[in-house]
Structure 1
Amino acid sequence: MFIAYVVVTVITIAANAGMAIADFARAKSVLANSAEVGLPQSWIPALAMLKAAGAAGLLLGLLGARFIGVAAAVGLVLFFIGAIAAHVRARVFHNIAFPGGYLALAVASLVLAAAR
């Protein structure tokens, strides 16, 4: 079970860190998706910070700060529930699999961290 926790959490860290970098770089895909779901561009840096903080918290959890890792996983789960809600509210379904995938990774990280 520990190996599954490490593998899933490392993937979740990499995915969220990568998205945070894309957000900070204001990648065209990030700007296009944000506009499509009605998210103000001024929110992108703050959302990038949340993703980066989630990734950092998961890393701290891997390094022994279990409570921080669990809290970070909970935060990412809530974040991506919000992202899916934004997609549904805006009726943007063609790319809802992306936040859904990130949500699945966050949920898996949470379940495995809590079971540890």
Structure 2
Amino acid sequence: MSTAYVVVTVLGAVLAGFSAASLLLGAEWTVKPLADYGVPRAWWTWLGVAKAAGAAGLLAGLLVPVIGVLAAAGLVLYFLGAAATVARARWFSHLPFPLIYGAPAAASLMLWF
């Protein structure tokens, strides 16, 4: 396990955890755009839990690699879906945000292989 893999994985876990916490705690700068994009409020808790699980999975993957691979793949798919939702809502100026949050998960996945 390389140092780069550990650093990128921990960064990905921190970013996903921060994103999950901001959603689960109802930070206005997180939930207002979700409402603007048309994401149903009933989904918000589940989306936050999915991000939190991904963050925990990335960290667990440092000890059990298959968990980290699955978590990274899940987070990549999650944030690609978030980017698609932003694009569908035509808020192109917000498109970098899900891509920035998903980049460390993608890098972690690439560094593992």
TM surpasses 0.5: yes
Which range moved further: 47-56 or 96-105? Answer: 96-105
What TM-score results when the alignment is normalised by the length of structure 2? 0.95
| Structure 2 portions without partners, runs of 5+ | none
Q: Compute the TM-score of the two structures, normalised by the length of structure 1.
A: 0.93
Deviation readout 1:39-78 (Å, 9 max, x if unpaired) = 111111100000000011101111x200000000000010
Q: How many residues of Structure 1 are paired with residues of Structure 2 in the alignment? A: 113
| Matches of 2:74 and 2:35, distance apart in 1 | 24
Show the counterpart of 2:99.
100
Which runs of 5 or more residues in structure 1 are unaligned?
none
CA contact (8 A) 1:36 1:92 kept: no
Would you say the 8 A contact 1:20–1:48 is kept in 2?
Answer: yes
Q: Aligned with 1:23: secondary structure? A: helix
Q: How does 1:1-116 map to 2 (within 5 A)?
A: 2-62=2-62, 64-113=63-112, 115=113
Q: 4+ residue stretches of structure 1 with deviation over 3 A? A: none
- Provide the rounded CA distance (Å) in 1 between the counterparts of 2:110 and 2:49: 23
